[in-house]
């Protein structure tokens, strides 16, 4: 089989794993689509996406249109004569005019076991829900939100202490390997996609900073999952006086019941906070503009025992 002409569309680190897998398998794309450079860091200087960095290192042409609804952009993609477009966390909607360009269609590398967790934040949603299994699917793209038929999946167990960052890395590597394993069969049509069971669909909406606030009225088990789900982005947080403190690590613990938000103990073993059900032991915290510290270190800086958060 002649090597397929591939357009790859992706932006963050998750997508780099799939792009790198293609390159290392000798399936280098003829072009890479990624979002325009964005302001980043304290200086708000324009920064290239991780996918752009990797593509330029490999001397792959990079396209950064702000939208795919422009007729000139559609014409430019048509001129590339792609057999397939592979999309991994690109971040822009593909209009029908773009979906129709590749001979073998557009293929999405999606970080969930579809139809569970369609949408923008499947990794965080899986941890928040306490899912015991996660994985990656290769999905034929269509106009609906992650509604296309699925060619292949690879699933594995989620560790009960795993953060979103750790699960992200495993899913990214899994997605790259799955893509390379099945790409030829998808392009030549020998692998048939299976329609999703829409009645079992769940949705993972885009995350906001407000979603990551720790509400002490909730059960400790839910808050522990929230801490893991929002590590590293955007970081679970709570208010300590007028400071927004981020919590990077926590676990459920035994303790007496008290009004939700009461600091029951603060010492070398951590900071115990009473919740709506149970106790959450805070283990790694970060005050604004400061480095991350153990809760034991924070307890030496601020008298917390008995305080109401």
> 39-67, pLDDT tens digit by residue?
877 777 889 999 999 999 999 999 999 99
Q: Is residue 106 predicted with pLDDT exceeding 90? A: yes
Specify the pLDDT at position 49: 95
Boundaries of CATH 3.40.50.170 in the chain?
6-204
Phi and psi at residue 169, to the nearest 5°: -65, -40
Structure tokens that stand for 296 in this block: 């034991």
Instruction: List all residues 6 or more positions away from 17 whose beta carbon is below 8 Å from its beta carbon.
Output: 172, 173, 175, 176
Q: With 90 as the cut, is the pLDDT of residue 3 above it?
A: no
In percent, how much of the chain has pLDDT > 90?
86
Confidence (pTM): 0.94
Task: Give the model's pLDDT for residue 199.
Answer: 97
Cα separation values, 88 from 26, 108, 197, 281, 291, Å: 19, 6, 22, 36, 32
What distance in Å separates the CA atoms of residue 203 and residue 116, rounded to the nearest whole number?
Answer: 7
Q: Is 1 a residue whose pLDDT tops 70?
A: no
Q: How large is the C-alpha radius of gyration of the chain?
A: 22
In this prediction, residue 267 has a pLDDT band, given cuts at 50, 70 and 90, of: confident
For residue 290, pLDDT over 70 is answered with yes
Asked if 50 and 70 touch (Cβ cutoff 8 Å), the reply is: no
**Sequence ranges of the chain with CATH classification 3.10.25.10:** 209-301
Q: What is the mean pLDDT of the chain?
A: 95
| Per-residue pLDDT reduced to its tens digit, 242-252 | 999 999 999 99
Return the biggest CA–CA distance within the chain.
70
67-92: per-residue pLDDT in tens?
Answer: 999 999 999 999 999 999 999 999 99
> Going by C-beta distance under 8 Å and a sequence separation of 6 or more, which residues neighbour residue 187?
1, 4, 83, 84, 104
Of the pLDDT bands very low, low, confident and very high (cuts 50, 70, 90), residue 270 is confident
Q: What is the pLDDT of residues 131-157, one digit of tens each?
A: 999 999 999 999 989 999 999 999 999
Output the six-digit token pair for 172.
Answer: 């990214």
DSSP states of 101-152 as a string? Answer: SSTT-EEEEESS-TTTTEES-HHHHHHHTT-SEEEEEEEE--SSTT-S-EEE
Homologous superfamily, domain 209-301: Formyl transferase, C-terminal domain (3.10.25.10)
- Please determine, for residue 171, whether its predicted confidence score (pLDDT) is greater than 70: yes
Closest of 248, 152, 160, 257 to residue 194, by C-alpha: 152
- What torsion do the CA atoms of 167, 172, 176, 178 make, to the nearest 10 degrees? 40
Percent of the chain surpassing pLDDT 70: 100
Q: Are 139 and 151 in contact (CB under 8 A)?
A: yes
pLDDT at residue 159 tops 70: yes
pLDDT tens digit sequence for 175-221: 999 999 999 999 999 999 999 999 999 999 999 999 999 999 999 99
Residue 148: partners with Cβ closer than 8 Å, 6 or more residues away: 108, 139, 140, 141, 142, 193, 196
CATH superfamily label, 6-204: Formyl transferase, N-terminal domain (3.40.50.170)
Confidence of residue 307 (pLDDT cuts 50, 70, 90): confident
Residues 64, 52: Cα–Cα separation, whole Å:
9
């Amino acid at each position: 089989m002649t090597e397929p002409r591939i357009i790859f569309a992706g932006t963050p680190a998750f997508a780099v794993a799939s792009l790198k897998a293609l390159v290392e398998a000798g399936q280098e794309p003829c072009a890479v689509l990624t979002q325009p450079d964005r302001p980043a860091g304290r200086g708000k200087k324009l920064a290239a996406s991780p996918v752009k960095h990797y593509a330029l290192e490999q001397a792959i042409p990079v396209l950064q249109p702000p939208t795919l609804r422009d007729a000139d952009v559609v014409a430019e993609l048509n001129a590339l004569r792609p057999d397939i477009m592979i999309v991994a966390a690109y971040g822009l909607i593909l209009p029908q005019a773009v979906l129709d360009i590749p001979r073998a269609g557009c293929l999405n590398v999606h970080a969930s076991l579809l139809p569970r967790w369609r949408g923008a934040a499947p990794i965080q949603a899986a941890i928040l829900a306490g899912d015991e299994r996660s994985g990656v699917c290769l999905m034929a793209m269509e106009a609906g939100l992650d509604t296309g038929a699925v060619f292949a999946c690879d699933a594995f167990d989620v560790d009960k202490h795993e953060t979103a960052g750790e699960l992200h890395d495993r899913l990214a590597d899994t997605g790259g390997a799955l893509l390379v394993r099945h790409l030829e069969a998808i392009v030549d049509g020998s692998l048939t996609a299976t329609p999703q069971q829409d009645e079992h669909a769940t949705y993972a909406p885009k995350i906001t900073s407000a979603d990551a606030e720790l509400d002490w009225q909730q059960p400790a088990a839910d808050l522990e999952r929230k801490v893991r789900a929002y590590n590293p982005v955007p970081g679970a947080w709570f208010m300590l006086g007028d400071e927004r403190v981020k919590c990077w690590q926590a676990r459920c613990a035994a303790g007496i019941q008290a009004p939700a938000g009461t600091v029951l103990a603060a010492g070398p073993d951590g900071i115990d906070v009473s919740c709506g059900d149970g106790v959450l032991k805070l283990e790694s915290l970060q005050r604004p503009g400061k480095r991350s510290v153990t809760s034991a270190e924070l307890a030496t800086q601020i008298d917390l025992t008995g305080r109401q958060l």
